[in-house]
Structure 1
């Protein structure tokens, strides 16, 4: 079968290779991949790839071999999946606890855009707690996670301010109900909750705009610049603010994937997909994703759909 593997080259991060079809473990189903969605974090891993790196965490497709232990969906089921790796291929072995069945109303392209960004958004908002009537600041908001967080938080009653680099990248967020600004300095606090994903100078600046006793959830460092906090500046800012580190990855994922599918089916969540193209264009798409030339998610189609 065909699989995309890392090259270590910045301009062409992946290339096709002919490899054996994966052999599932007893608790895994074999999926014929119809669509997959790369994440910007994966583009960073491809810069200096480990020898064992097999990219691909967000897929949608068809079960062609059910799990030997009897768990999960049967042969022929359409599914969305979140494997640990290996999804940029014609076939992928996925633990059944990381699969959810798709209704006919959700196509594979939209489904593939859900897993990592959608699960992150759900778990971020659970960490933040009830948002009804609360003021929320979201940095780095124009990617996949940002669009999901915005739609879900506004739907839950939050007064949300989203920070994006440019007006074009903020258009859809404004349509979803966010107050859009283009730098943290322009955000009008104070905020009860900050969801911070850029790092660098943005985190301490966002921290200074919080209410006393507020919560800052730090879930990324997209700027790739380390954060420096000055103790004496903190003394002059809001008191008793909590900074909480966040990482989404903790299996099982089935319940959250099912929740995301249900939200899309009910039209309460709308994946923002900036590009859908054939997987022959994966290398170029990865470069554009890394350089922030794609708003929301990018989805690659393998041609595996019936």
Structure 2
């Protein structure tokens, strides 16, 4: 089958090549991939990849089940699904554990669904970690990407007072339409906040921490700047009198990916969640899209469709 393979060359991170078609295990469905989205984390991994070492990127896919799981679990053949495999999704076919799948209704396209998994799962689980958002103030840094988009839309709809830090007015316009207060630097965020969701790193982490209310919580879920954060214990008291710092990783939850993907699909189908696709291309353009994503030339999600 055709698949995108890493090159080890920063100028062209992936090329089309041939890979063995996956052989599903008893609890796996075989999915014909129709669309997939790419994430900046995958781009960074590819920059350090060596050709021929087995790295097969691709965690956000949507397509058609062509072979149901042999153990009877999951969707039947012929059903359209969105999926979050651990890798290997940038290919014509992917074998996916059935607890990583959710069935799509006719009203949700594969292109729309492909933009959901990583960013949507992260946003949904961030809000679950933060607790009920109604009536609470929330600051999210690095809000220009897919996670910030989903967190903002869901939190505002649930009654939170959201301030989103977006790098530029253009990137922040959609967040403002949802009802968030948009600023372009943490220093302009005001506060204090019940909850801070911090994903930038570097000096932004300490600045965001200082904006917490007493007994507030900072949920640390990323380091998009690629700069380490340094926190000073005594400087901490320039901000909240006491607070909690929580490390977050979207994988560390008891709920299955399939269950949470089904929630995201229901929200989209009901018109309560609107994926923002900043780039839609055929997968022949994947290397170019990866470069643009790395250099932050794409707002929202980048989705690629596989050739017929």
Smaller-chain TM-score bracket: over 0.9
**Pairing of 1:76-95 with structure 2 (within 5 A):** 76-95=78-97
Which residue is 2:261 aligned to?
Answer: 257
Which residue is 1:40 aligned to?
Answer: 40
The answer to whether 1:159 aligns with 2:161 is yes
Deviations 1:9-39 (A, max 9, x none): 1121111111121111111000000000011
Equivalent position SS for 2:139: strand
Aligned-residue offset at 1:236: 2.6
Any gaps of 5 or more consecutive residues in structure 2?
Answer: none
Aligned-residue offset at 1:303: 2.7
Query: CA–CA distance in 2 between the matches of 1:66 and 1:239?
Result: 55
**Pairing of 1:1-306 with structure 2 (within 5 A):** 1-49=1-49, 51-250=53-252, 252-304=256-308
Deviations 1:246-301 (A, max 9, x none): 00014721110000000000000000110111000000001111111101000000
CA RMSD of aligned residues (A): 0.9
Aligned-residue offset at 1:86: 0.2
Query: CA–CA distance in 1 between the matches of 2:139 and 2:238?
Result: 20
- Alignment: residue pair count: 304
Query: CA–CA distance in 2 between the matches of 1:103 and 1:23?
Result: 27
Query: CA–CA distance in 1 between the matches of 2:249 and 2:61?
Result: 20
Q: Which of 49-58 and 122-131 deviates more?
A: 49-58
Query: CA–CA distance in 2 between the matches of 1:283 and 1:226?
Result: 28
Aligned-residue offset at 1:135: 0.9
Report the TM-score, using the length of structure 2 for normalisation: 0.97
Equivalent position SS for 2:119: helix
Any gaps of 5 or more consecutive residues in structure 1?
Answer: none
Query: CA–CA distance in 2 between the matches of 1:197 and 1:52?
Result: 29
Equivalent position SS for 2:17: strand
Query: CA–CA distance in 1 between the matches of 2:73 and 2:37?
Result: 25
